[in-house]
């Protein structure tokens, strides 16, 4: 069920072709909603030079050849050559009915691509920070949306589970005793565990020596060491999973694809790069120098793939992720939802992978850059009230704030009901705040604003959906009933209908451009269109076919709101 834009665009193209010949057919003529019309066509300006006619004449010619009698009630030329199109009320009404009868609500299945998506990726035995919160929330929204569009999404949680600190961490775990209270900190307060290990490492040569020996044993695959390392991972997994289930994200243990998974590939990656002459030894390290990556004074920046001590690093592992995702997962597109500061790292890794022939030109790697989350002081949010920030405490605070609202607004509900709504609203507020800004721009973490019921917030949208449901409860009707007929007469009805019809193209756009904030903005506009409709068009007090029609618009609004929020990973309470 194409949107007004998608229905009109081919007609405009056809008219251009009919007027000026096939050579001038415009696959995607510029059409946008404007103050003066439902859609404004802005094609004449660009065409005028090519066909050597004044823009207004071009516009007249297009209109003469335009076949839209079934679709439009008015076509007018304005200004220098804009074509203002008013859609027919009857067309909007019929399209709304069609959309309401479509279980996919107008979201068309796309030709399937295989898309591994690397997101979340916290580090073992460390606290997840707000940056990890953001990649988790944005990555999950993208995974859900791409899956809904019909793609084969393969979640890859590239957790940091390898490297020299693990000698120290394993040794500390053995010291405090597996199963002890101090060991359980990995699960409840990972930074405290890490800090305790670090302190011992910095404070005593004996522990530091044992830790270094432990790294060697771990790398050599000593069974006892590997077992303890695995138990450390197990504890961390419990911590990650508690955060994931609180957030309601779709990641499971099956999606874990940590750094250690690639250990066996690293030596051969280095050998192959060296044999191909792509990597060279420099000051004892194995490095790749590429002309396009230069630092100060034009000196090439090295991509180090084997350190002088023989150890491999983050870059080597990421070369392995490319190989794995291309060769084994058969990726068409590879998404890395990772902090913006890692942009150079990925560019260098991809360029190296292309040189090595591991990244064919038809496979597109994309860095979905994650911007910073800031505190009120506009610096990266790391502490709260002077103490190191704990992600779980932050999420709990969101729920507590929402709970205060629910207790006040709905004393009639049971304790369990209020607890459920508070969780949905508090967590939804935090996730939505993250998703409503472009993923690569920074935002200030302000819980009070996030849980507010006004403005572009999660609770405002959840409330809009809950309100529609309550209308149906009062009417004693089923919210999912398929409408028999819809009429759009009032401006607010038209505006709501038109907004509903855009859903499919917005979701498709989110899948193409990887911009969940577009869906958030769309849903916010939908909630506003609904508010204004509800204010101007009585629903339950209306009668006959008008009542039926308005209930149908309400029902479709609820369906789109619930589906849209679900694609973002935000739950909708049945009442608020
Ligand atoms: N663990 C890393 C971090 O915390 C993120 C890993 C992102 N994924 C990747 N393939 N490099 O910064």
* DSSP assignments along 286-339, one per residue: EEEEEEEEE-GGGPEEEEEEE-TTS---HHHHHHHHHHIIIIIT--SEEEEEEE
The alpha carbon of 32 is separated from its chain's Cα centroid by a whole number of angstroms, namely 25
Of 50, 66, 86, which marks where a domain is finished?
86
Question: What is the enclosing helix (H) or strand (E) of 559?
Answer: helix 544-568
Which pLDDT score is estimated for 456?
Answer: 97
Residue 29 lies in a domain: yes
Domain that holds residue 58: 4-86
CA-to-CA distance for 440 and 335, rounded, in angstroms? Answer: 14
In the block, residue with structure tokens 């990972």: 190
Distance 374 CA to ligand 1 centre (A): 20
Distance 314 CA to ligand 1 centre (A): 8
Residue 64 lies in a domain: yes
Which pLDDT score is estimated for 28?
Answer: 79
Residue 211 lies in a domain: yes
The predicted-structure confidence for 349-372, as pLDDT tens digits, reads as follows 999 999 999 999 999 999 999 999
Distance 164 CA to ligand 1 centre (A): 16
Which pLDDT score is estimated for 483?
Answer: 67
CATH of the domain at 45: 3.30.1360.70
Q: What is the dihedral of CA 410, 411, 414, 420, to 10 degrees?
A: 40
Environment class of 192 (CB within 10 Å of its CB; exposed 0-12, middle 13-18, buried 19+): middle
Give the residue, out of 158, 240, 243, 345, with the most ligand 1 atoms within 8 A of its beta carbon, to mutate for a pocket test.
Answer: 158
CA-to-CA distance for 573 and 125, rounded, in angstroms? Answer: 34
Nearest CA to ligand 1 atom 5: 121
Residue 459 lies in a domain: no
CA-to-CA distance for 215 and 225, rounded, in angstroms? Answer: 9
Of 39, 60, 86, which marks where a domain is finished?
86
Q: Is the pTM of this model over 0.85?
A: yes
Locate the ligand 1 atom nearest the alpha carbon of residue 314 and give its number.
11
Number of Cβ within 10 Å of residue 411's Cβ equals: 8
Which pLDDT score is estimated for 481?
Answer: 66
Give the residue, out of 338, 348, 368, with the most ligand 1 atoms within 8 A of its beta carbon, to mutate for a pocket test.
Answer: 338
**Residue numbers of the chain with a pLDDT score lower than 50:** none
Residue 145 lies in a domain: no
Distance 151 CA to ligand 1 centre (A): 24
Q: With the C-alpha atoms ordered 7, 13, 18, 22, is the resulting torsion angle positive or negative?
A: negative
Residue 13 lies in a domain: yes
Of 36, 63, 86, which marks where a domain is finished?
86
Do the Cβ atoms of 79 and 44 come closer than 8 Å?
Answer: no
CA-to-CA distance for 485 and 94, rounded, in angstroms? Answer: 8
Nearest CA to ligand 1 atom 8: 158
Locate the ligand 1 atom nearest the alpha carbon of residue 318 and give its number.
10
Domain count, the chain: 2
Which pLDDT score is estimated for 385?
Answer: 77
Which pLDDT score is estimated for 506?
Answer: 97
Alpha helices for 21-153 (secondary structure H): 44-51, 55-64, 89-100, 130-148
Phi, psi (5° rounding) for residue 82?
-80, 145
Residue 547 lies in a domain: no
Give the residue, out of 130, 159, 342, 372, with the most ligand 1 atoms within 8 A of its beta carbon, to mutate for a pocket test.
Answer: 342
Residue 169 lies in a domain: yes
Q: Which residues sit with their C-beta closer than 6 Å to ligand 1? A: 118, 121, 123, 158, 160, 318, 321, 336, 338
Do the Cβ atoms of 477 and 471 come closer than 8 Å?
Answer: no
Nearest CA to ligand 1 atom 2: 121
- b/e 562-573 (16+ beta carbons within 10 angstroms → b): bbbbebbbbbbb
CA-to-CA distance for 508 and 248, rounded, in angstroms? Answer: 23
- b/e 54-86 (16+ beta carbons within 10 angstroms → b): ebbebbbbbbeebebeebbeebebeeebbbbbe
The predicted-structure confidence for 268-291, as pLDDT tens digits, reads as follows 999 999 999 999 999 999 999 999
Distance 132 CA to ligand 1 centre (A): 9
């Amino acid at each position: 069920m194409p949107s007004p834009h998608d229905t009109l665009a081919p007609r405009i193209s056809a008219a251009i072709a009919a007027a000026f010949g096939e050579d001038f057919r415009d696959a995607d003529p510029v059409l946008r909603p404007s103050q003066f019309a439902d859609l404004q066509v802005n094609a004449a300006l660009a065409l005028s030079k090519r066909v050597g006619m004044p823009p207004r004449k071009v516009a007249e010619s297009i209109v003469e050849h335009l076949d839209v009698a079934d679709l439009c009630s008015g076509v007018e030329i304005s200004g220098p050559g804009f074509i203002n199109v008013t859609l027919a009320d009857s067309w909007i009404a019929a399209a709304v009915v069609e959309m309401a009868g479509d279980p996919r609500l107008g979201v068309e299945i796309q030709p399937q691509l295989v898309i591994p998506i690397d997101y979340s990726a916290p580090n073992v035995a460390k606290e997840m920070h707000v940056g990890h919160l953001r990649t988790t929330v944005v990555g999950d929204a993208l995974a859900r949306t791409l899956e809904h569009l019909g793609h084969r999404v393969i979640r890859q949680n590239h957790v940091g589970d390898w490297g020299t600190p693990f000698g120290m961490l394993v040794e500390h775990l053995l010291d405090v005793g597996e199963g002890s209270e101090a060991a359980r900190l990995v699960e409840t307060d990972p930074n405290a565990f890490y800090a305790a290990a670090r302190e011992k490492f910095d404070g005593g040569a004996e522990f530091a020596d044992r830790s270094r020996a432990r790294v060697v044993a771990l790398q050599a695959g000593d069974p006892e060491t590997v077992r303890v390392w695995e138990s450390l991972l197990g504890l961390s997994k419990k911590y990650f999973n508690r955060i994931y289930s609180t957030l309601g994200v779709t990641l499971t243990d099956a999606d874990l694809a940590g750094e250690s998974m690639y250990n066996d590939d690293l030596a051969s990656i280095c050998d192959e790069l060296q044999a191909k002459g792509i990597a060279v030894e420099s000051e004892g390290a194995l490095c790749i120098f590429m002309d396009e990556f230069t630092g100060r004074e034009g000196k090439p920046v090295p991509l180090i793939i084997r350190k002088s001590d023989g150890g491999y690093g983050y870059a080597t592992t990421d070369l392995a992720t490319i190989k794995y995702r291309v060769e084994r997962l058969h990726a068409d597109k590879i998404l890395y939802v990772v902090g913006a500061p890692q942009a150079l790292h990925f560019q260098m890794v991809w360029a190296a992978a292309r040189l090595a022939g591991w990244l064919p030109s038809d496979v597109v790697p994309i860095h979905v850059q994650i911007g910073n989350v800031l505190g009120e002081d506009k610096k990266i949010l790391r502490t709260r009230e002077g103490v190191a920030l704990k992600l779980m405490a932050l999420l709990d605070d969101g729920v507590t704030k929402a709970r205060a609202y629910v207790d006040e607004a709905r004393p009639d509900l049971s304790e369990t009901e209020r607890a459920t709504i508070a969780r949905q609203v508090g967590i939804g507020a935090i996730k939505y705040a993250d998703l409503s800004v472009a993923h690569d721009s920074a935002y200030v973490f302000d819980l009070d604003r996030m849980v507010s019921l006004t403005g572009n917030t999660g609770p405002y949208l959840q409330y809009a959906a809950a309100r529609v449901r309550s209308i149906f409860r009062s009417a004693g009707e089923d919210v999912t009933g398929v409408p028999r007929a819809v009429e759009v007469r009032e401006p607010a009805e038209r505006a709501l209908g038109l907004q509903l019809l855009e859903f499919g193209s917005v979701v498709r756009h989110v899948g193409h451009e990887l911009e969940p904030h577009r869906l958030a903005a769309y849903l916010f506009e939908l909630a506003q269109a609904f508010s204004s409709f509800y204010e101007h068009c009585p629903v339950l007090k209306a009668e006959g076919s008008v009542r039926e029609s308005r209930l149908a618009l309400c029902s479709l609004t609820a369906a789109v709101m619930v589906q849209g929020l679900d694609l973002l990973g935000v739950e909708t309470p049945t009442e608020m």
